Amino acid sequence: MQFALNEDQIAVRDMALAFAAEKIAPHALRWDEEKHFPVEVMREAATLGMGGIYIREDVGGSAMTRFDAALIFEALATGCPTTSAFISIHNMASWMIDAYGSDTQRHKWLPKLCTMELIASYCLTEPGAGSDAAALRTRAVRDGDHYVLNGQKQFISGAGGTDLLVAMVRTGGDGPGGISTLVIDGNTPGVSFGANERKMGWNAQPTRAVIFENARVPVANRLSEEGVGFKIAMAGLDGGRLNITACSLGGAQTALDKARSYMKERKAFGKRLDEFQALQFRLADMAIELEAARTFLWRAAAALDRKDPDATMLCAMAKRFGTDAGFEVANQALQLHGGYGYLSEYGIEKIVRDLRVHQILEGTNEIMRLIVARKLIEGAR
């Protein structure tokens, strides 16, 4: 249990905060408006070790903990939740190669992934398989030393702007036991991409469908054995849920800070807004919710680092609580700005739009409740 950060953790957090303030925050509104994918800035982050946060050192990773990652992604999200979230997705895909790949695979891809010379997307969701990931239908049929892929992935972050696709595909029968994981070069013949989706938020990263039409992928690109893919996907999502929760808290913290500053300047009925007790209480509740969510996040991250038997449940709990709290705090911050909060130049409405999707991705918050309920019921038997 950690109730205070040590010197190394403070240094890691402060490094990420400084990078967010200098390199990300000043450009976040423009990136959102122009739908710009800030690859060069992300590569600058990678020079500070943020391209392979929990990747082993022998391939260029930073070998940090999930707890460290939570601090980093929250800090980066104070500048732009969308950019931080994509770096987290890249780290998750890279970790799958590090954790489940052979030494040959690790040394082939990870050195360039850690520098973000290569950038990775994670491909699980399909048009008919979102929350029910075990029902995915993208088929990989063995043909000698290759698999022939046919199918479609949906809502893939970075698709069309990334180099590698870590994809869950069906090599066997129905259900989770028939799923395997392939690392696919984005330029493989037969791999194409849909149009960049028009989204409510997360505009600083492209989101496209990935389409496989008789795409040939070497069997040597499969991570682990056939049939292990669903296990790999679920293991990756434990950490991904912590990361996206951290991104929610970083965005919400910025929204809260903006609201505090605005309330010191804005007057109504002859008083500054921060002199009204009702609004003071609202600020207090927002800060309490954020602190509770942050404490929960740290607890779950520490459990994942320890490989605690309850880590999956705690990650689901933290994700449900933290992403709901983050969105609500940002929404309240917009309300405290009144009409100005609805204007893009104040930056609040962007945070609200960006954080809304966090309640959906990495497993919807309804699925988080299902995971928790199943664990509780199993434990009661």
- Which residues are known to be catalytic? 362
CA 174, CA 172: separation in Å to the nearest integer?
A: 7
Of 124, 111, 133, which is closest to residue 165 (Cα–Cα)? 124
CA 233, CA 218: separation in Å to the nearest integer?
A: 20
The half-sphere exposure of 253 on its side-chain side, counting CA atoms within 13 A, is: 23
C-beta of residue 216 within 8 angstroms of C-beta of residue 190: yes
E strand or H helix at 184: strand 179-185
Q: DSSP string spanning 245-291?
A: HHHHHHHHHHHHHHHHHHHHH-EETTEEGGG-HHHHHHHHHHHHHHH
CA distance to 155, 276, 373, per residue, from 165 (Å): 13, 52, 32
C-beta of residue 95 within 8 angstroms of C-beta of residue 239: yes
